[in-house]
Chain A
Amino acid sequence: GENVEQHPSTLSVQEGDSAVIKCTYSDSASNYFPWYKQELGKRPQLIIDIRSNVGEKKDQRIAVTLNKTAKHFSLHITETQPEDSAVYFCAAPNSGGGADGLTFGKGTHLIIQP
């Protein structure tokens, strides 16, 4: 099955600075890579995803990059704000097509310092 490693486990940045969270995966056939944000006591919610036919995707202050050769993908948040404080999870399909659900990383607790 898929193995997803996520780093760092905790990330503290000053408000206004950028934050980068990195994930690696093991199955070279994986083709879909979502990022979820989970606020304290809430459910995970999708914030951005990328498919294997593109190398980068942006949505306002959030971007995701994918390096298929190295089997890693990263979440970039620019101009961080207090509401960005949360736990972020990367994920990859359990099989190449994702029919068996998702394997999640262990999460990154992002702390935005005022």
Chain B
Amino acid sequence: NAGVTQTPKFQVLKTGQSMTLQCAQDMNHEYMSWYRQDPGMGLRLIHYSVGAGITDQGEVPNGYNVSRSTTEDFPLRLLSAAPSQTSVYFCASSYLARGVEQYFGPGTRLTVT
């Protein structure tokens, strides 16, 4: 199993550009989520999904969209990139929505200039 994969590993955007961060898992996990990690801030939840077709907002959803058309994939879209979105983004998945280990992807380091 590849586990949780993310692409790209690094990305530089100009302010106002849009892009999609890809996340995929091959563990048949129902629950998937996106976190951003900033220095001294820990990990903060952006959006999550409890299954295909179901998504919801986390703590810091503004400026981001998600969709879940399949169990395997959970892309994160930046609509109009801003310097405040410079961060490391982690996708995570688990077989239940609660009380179990979250498996994290390797992360995407995004810089917005």
Chain A residues with CB below 8 A from B50, complex form: 99
Chain B residues with CB below 8 A from A49, complex form: 101
- The winner among A32, A43, A104 for most chain B CB atoms within 10 A is A43
Q: Could you tell me if B104 and A43 are in contact, using CB atoms closer than 8 angstroms?
A: yes
How far, in Å, is B65 (CB) from chain A's closest CB? 17
How far, in Å, is B98 (CB) from chain A's closest CB? 3
Partner of A89, one of B43, B56, B106: B43
Partner of A102, one of B45, B105, B106, B107: B45
Q: What is the predominant secondary structure among interface residues of chain A facing chain B?
A: loop
Chain A residues with CB below 8 A from B35, complex form: 104
A12 within 8 A of B: no
Q: Could you tell me if B56 and A100 are in contact, using CB atoms closer than 8 angstroms?
A: yes
**A interface with B by C-beta (< 8 Å):** 1, 6, 9, 31-32, 34, 42-46, 49, 51, 89, 93-94, 97-107
